[in-house]
């Protein structure tokens, strides 16, 4: 297949592209605007492969998208491009509405027009796979409840509301126009190449620099943690074998309180990076509780039984194995994250540093 991956320079998108190029014979066209979270250095291992192509395009740019579709003639779309940081959506929601709603609408329209031009056999094989989040469901009150594919939507933040809206658009284009769609909703991802504003890499890098490790509220918010390479496998599995019009929840079976995640990272760093900054006796001493985020969801947890029963996918990593691999990766790949922290990852690609 030839697959267009939108947002392929992002955290999850780059994992998907690496998985496809390294484990299949498919070709990938990476469409990415290269905002602050887009980092082509995350694709250094595949960027010279003849089956990989990059197009710096905004998904809101209909003309540019149309050109890419006409030139590359894709068999499938994996739509991961999105503004995704909740704190940023609270501070300024406009970009989230533009990218997540207007961008998804524009991509759907370009894909639909392209799909309508395909011969019958190619048309029947085409897929539009929309990648979303468990945050569209809101949060769970009980300690045993799980999000299923039929859980009603109740988004809490501008980010999750914009993703919920994009999910509705995709389903509407499937039902109204017959576009062959697939949807996936995932739990919190973590792993290599994760942008440092997110909890796990932020804690790792702050600890290494002797800086405070900020934890919202009392740190008892619960998340289901999914190793990003497990997620990439799941997404490709859905693309190949998912049933048109269906939704699949993808989770890691790894519920942890935020404070416990931070403490596990500190314990691993005691073992793997015992030489600490001068001001640090124990990494855990850096933990600092800060004012909670407005509208902060208390608990997310995914029921991923459908994708396991119907498509045979299950995560390979436990939280213990995945978090160890993640901490080790950051310790062994200082150049990657130093380029992010100093902004040179953008300047070297001609992208304005924000």
Name the pLDDT band for 349 (thresholds 50, 70, 90). Answer: low
Residue 143: the pLDDT is 75
State mean pLDDT over 326-343: 96
Strand duo 27-32 + 52-56: pairing: parallel
| Catalytic residue of the set 32, 58, 134, 167 | 134
Of the candidates 30, 32, 11, 36, the residue with the CA atom closest to the CA atom of residue 229: 11
What kind of architecture, by CATH, is found in domain 2-193+226-253+301-317?
Answer: 3-Layer(aba) Sandwich (3.40)
Q: Which one, of 60, 341, 51, 39, lies nearest residue 205 by Cα?
A: 341
Spatial CA neighbour of 69 closest among 53, 49, 48, 82: 53
pLDDT in tens, 159-218: 999 999 999 999 999 999 999 999 999 999 999 999 998 899 999 999 999 999 999 999
- The whole-number pLDDT of residue 90 equals 87
Rounded to an integer, what distance in angstroms lies between the CA atom of residue 86 and that of residue 88?
5
Residue 347: pLDDT over 80:
no
Indicate the pLDDT class of residue 335, thresholds 50, 70 and 90. very high
> What share of the chain in percent tops pLDDT 70?
98
Whether pTM exceeds 0.85: yes
- The answer to whether 135 is a known catalytic residue is yes
- Of 41, 83, 135, 224, which is the active-site residue? 135
List the 247-250 sheet strands across, edge first: 52-56, 27-32, 2-6, 76-79, 127-133, 181-186, 247-250
Residue 350 clears pLDDT 60, i.e. is over it:
no
- Residues 144-162: pLDDT tens digits? 899 999 999 999 999 999 9
Sequential DSSP letters for 100-169: IIIIHHHHHHHHHHHHHTS-HHHHHH-EEEEEEEGGGG---SSSS--B-TTPPP---SHHHHHHHHHHHH
Residue spans per domain, the chain: 2-193+226-253+301-317
Nearest CA among 241, 148, 242 for reference residue 187: 148
Mean pLDDT, the chain, as a whole number? Answer: 94
d(CA 305, CA 95): 34
Is 159 a catalytic site residue?
yes
- The gap from C-alpha 130 to its chain's centroid, in whole angstroms, comes to 12
Q: Which of 159, 190, 193, 300 is catalytic?
A: 159
Digit-coded pLDDT (tens) for 67-114: 999 999 999 999 999 987 777 888 889 999 999 999 999 999 999 999
134 is catalytic: yes
Determine how β-strand 181-186 pairs with β-strand 213-216: unpaired
User: CA distances (Å), 297 to each of 122, 220, 252, 263, 294, in order?
Assistant: 43, 11, 18, 21, 9
| Count of H-run helices and E-run strands, the chain | 14, 12
With a pLDDT cut of 90, the percent of the chain lying above it is: 87
DSSP 98: I
**Which of residues 348 and 305 earns the better pLDDT score?**
305
Q: What is the pLDDT of residues 273-326, one digit of tens each?
A: 999 999 899 999 999 999 988 878 889 999 999 999 999 999 999 999 999 999
Biggest CA pair distance of the chain: 67
């Amino acid at each position: 297949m030839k697959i267009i991956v939108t947002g392929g320079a992002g955290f999850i998108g780059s994992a998907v592209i690496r998985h496809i190029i390294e484990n299949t014979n498919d070709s990938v066209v990476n469409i990415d605007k290269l905002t602050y979270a887009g980092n082509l250095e995350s694709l250094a291992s595949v960027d010279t492969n003849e089956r990989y192509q990059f197009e710096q395009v905004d998904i809101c740019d209909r003309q540019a998208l149309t050109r890419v579709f006409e030139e590359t003639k894709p068999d499938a779309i994996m739509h991961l491009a999105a503004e995704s940081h909740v704190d940023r959506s609270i501070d300024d929601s406009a970009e989230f509405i533009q990218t997540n709603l207007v961008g998804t609408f524009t991509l759907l329209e370009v894909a639909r027009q392209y799909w309508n031009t395909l011969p019958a056999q190619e048309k029947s094989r085409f897929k539009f796979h929309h990648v979303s989040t468990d945050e569209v469901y809101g949060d769970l009150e009980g300690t045993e409840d799980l999000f299923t594919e039929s859980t009603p939507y109740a988004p809490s933040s501008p980010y999750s509301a914009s993703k919920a809206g994009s999910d509705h658009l995709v389903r509407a284009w499937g039902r109204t126009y017959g576009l062959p769609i697939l949807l996936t909703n995932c739990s919190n991802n973590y792993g290599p190449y994760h942008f440092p504003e997110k909890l796990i890499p932020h804690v790792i890098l702050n600890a290494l620099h002797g800086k405070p490790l900020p934890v919202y509220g009392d740190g008892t918010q619960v998340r289901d943690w999914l190793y990003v390479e497990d997620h990439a496998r799941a997404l490709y599995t859905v693309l190949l074998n998912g049933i048109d019009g269906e939704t699949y929840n993808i989770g890691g079976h790894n519920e942890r309180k935020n404070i416990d995640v931070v403490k596990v990272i500190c314990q691993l760093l005691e073992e793997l990076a015992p030489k600490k900054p001068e001001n640090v006796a124990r990494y855990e001493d850096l933990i600092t509780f800060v004012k909670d985020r407005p509208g902060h969801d208390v608990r997310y947890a995914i029921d991923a039984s459908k994708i396991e029963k119907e498509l045979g996918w299950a995560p390979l990593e436990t939280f213990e194995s995945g978090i160890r691999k993640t901490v080790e990766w950051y310790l062994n790949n200082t150049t990657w994250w130093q380029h992010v922290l100093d902004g040179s990852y953008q300047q070297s690609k001609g992208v304005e540093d924000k």
